[in-house]
Amino acid sequence: MRRINKLIVHCSATREKQPVSLKTIRSWHVDGRGWKDVGYHYIIHLDGKISKGRSDSILGAHVKGHNTDSLGICYIGGMDADNNHAKDTRTCAQKDSLDALLLTLKQMHPDSTVYSHNEFSNKACPSFDATAEYKWISSYEEDC
């Protein structure tokens, strides 16, 4: 099993409230970029449903230079309604699912830290400061 020490949060860079399927993202990555599969390990939809992208055991294609020791988590959204400006568009359901998923992944990979994609790339993604918001997860330690 790969050693994971980064949980990297992304956005799909799509309009707020615009649903995007795993199939569509897979097409963007496979047909559009020539990758083997969707680059992310997890995708969180507007309703909070979590879709599985790549297996956790397979390197992602989500942050150049940081795929070997990370998992990529992408929420659908991240742009305003006009698709002109980055915006935290997470729904309440997405926030709840992201909290639960990150906490679960942290428990599975105790040495991991949550990061925003923009810490590794000159992009607005994920359109909010995931590192600060999820500091409580990064510092989480199980008592038992």
* Total Cβ atoms within 10 A of residue 129: 14
Is 143 inside any structural domain?
A: no
- Domain with residue 126: its CATH number is 3.40.80.10
DSSP per-residue codes, 42-104 = EEE-TTS-EEE-S-TTS--SSSTT-STTEEEEEES-EE-TTSSSB-----HHHHHHHHHHHHH
Whether residue 1 lies inside any domain: the answer is no
Token pair, residue 5, equals: 């020490």
pLDDT digits (tens, 9 = 90+) for 53-72: 999 999 999 999 999 999 99
Instruction: Report the chain's mean pLDDT, rounded to a whole number.
Output: 95
Three-state DSSP class for residue 36: coil
Give the count of domains, the chain.
1
Window from 12-21, 30-39, 57-66, 133-142 with minimum mean pLDDT: 133-142
Q: Is residue 125 part of a domain?
A: yes
Q: What pLDDT sits at residue 1?
A: 67
Q: Is 43 inside any structural domain?
A: yes
What SS3 state is found at 107? Answer: helix
In this structure, is residue 84 part of a structural domain?
yes
Whether residue 13 is contained in a domain is answered as yes
**Which domain, by its residues, includes 30?**
6-138
Average pLDDT over residues 24-43: 96
Could you read off the pLDDT of 67-120 as tens digits, one per residue? Answer: 999 999 999 999 999 999 999 999 999 999 999 999 999 999 999 999 999 999
pLDDT at 141: 79
Q: pLDDT class for 143, splitting at 50, 70, 90?
A: low
